Amino acid sequence: MPGRFEGKRGLVLGVANKRSIAWAVARRLADEGAALAFTFQGERIEGNVRELAESVSSPLVTSCDVREEADCTRAVAEAASALGGLDFVVHSVAFAAAEDLEGRFTDTPRDRFWMALDVSAYSLVAIARAAEPHLAETGGSIVTMTYLGGERVVPHYNVMGVAKATLEASMRYLAWDLGAEGIRVNAISAGPVRTLAARSISGFPTMEAIVGERAPLRRHIDAGDVAAASAYLLSDDARNVSGTILYVDSGYHAMGM
Domain contains 203: yes
Domain contains 255: no
- The average confidence (pLDDT) of the chain is 94
- Whether the model clears a pTM of 0.75, i.e. scores above it, the answer is yes
Angle between helices 123-138 and 69-83 in degrees, nearest 10:
30
Query: Mean per-residue pLDDT for 180-191?
Result: 97
Q: 202 or 140: which carries more pLDDT confidence?
A: 140
Per-residue pLDDT band for 1 (boundaries 50, 70, 90) equals: very low
Q: Active site residue: 157, 173, 232, 252, which one?
A: 157
Overall number of domains in the chain:
1
Q: Residue 199: is its pLDDT beyond 90?
A: no
For 112-144, write each residue's pLDDT tens digit: 999 999 999 999 999 999 999 999 999 999 999
Domain range for residue 52? 9-249
Domain contains 173: yes
Domain contains 91: yes
CA distances from 67 to 56, 121, 171 (A): 28, 10, 18
Query: What's the pLDDT at 208?
Result: 75
Residues facing residue 36 across a β-bridge: 10
> CA angle, corner 107, sides to 104 and 111, nearest 5?
130
Domain contains 63: yes
Q: Active site residue: 122, 147, 232, 252, which one?
A: 147
For 204-240, write each residue's pLDDT tens digit: 677 778 888 899 999 889 999 999 999 999 999 999 9
What CATH number corresponds to the domain at position 224? 3.40.50.720
Domain contains 254: no
> Does residue 147 carry a catalytic annotation?
yes
Rounded CA separation 116/118 (Å)? 6
Per-residue pLDDT band for 2 (boundaries 50, 70, 90) equals: low
> Does residue 232 carry a catalytic annotation?
no
Tell me if 16 sits within 8 A of 196, measured CB to CB. Answer: yes
Query: Mean per-residue pLDDT for 37-58?
Result: 96
Query: What's the pLDDT at 50?
Result: 98
Domain contains 3: no
Percent of the chain residues topping a pLDDT of 90: 85
Query: What's the pLDDT at 108?
Result: 98
Domain contains 2: no
Q: Counting beta carbons within 10 angstroms of the beta carbon of residue 110, is it exposed (0 to 12), middle (13 to 18) or buried (19 or more)?
A: exposed
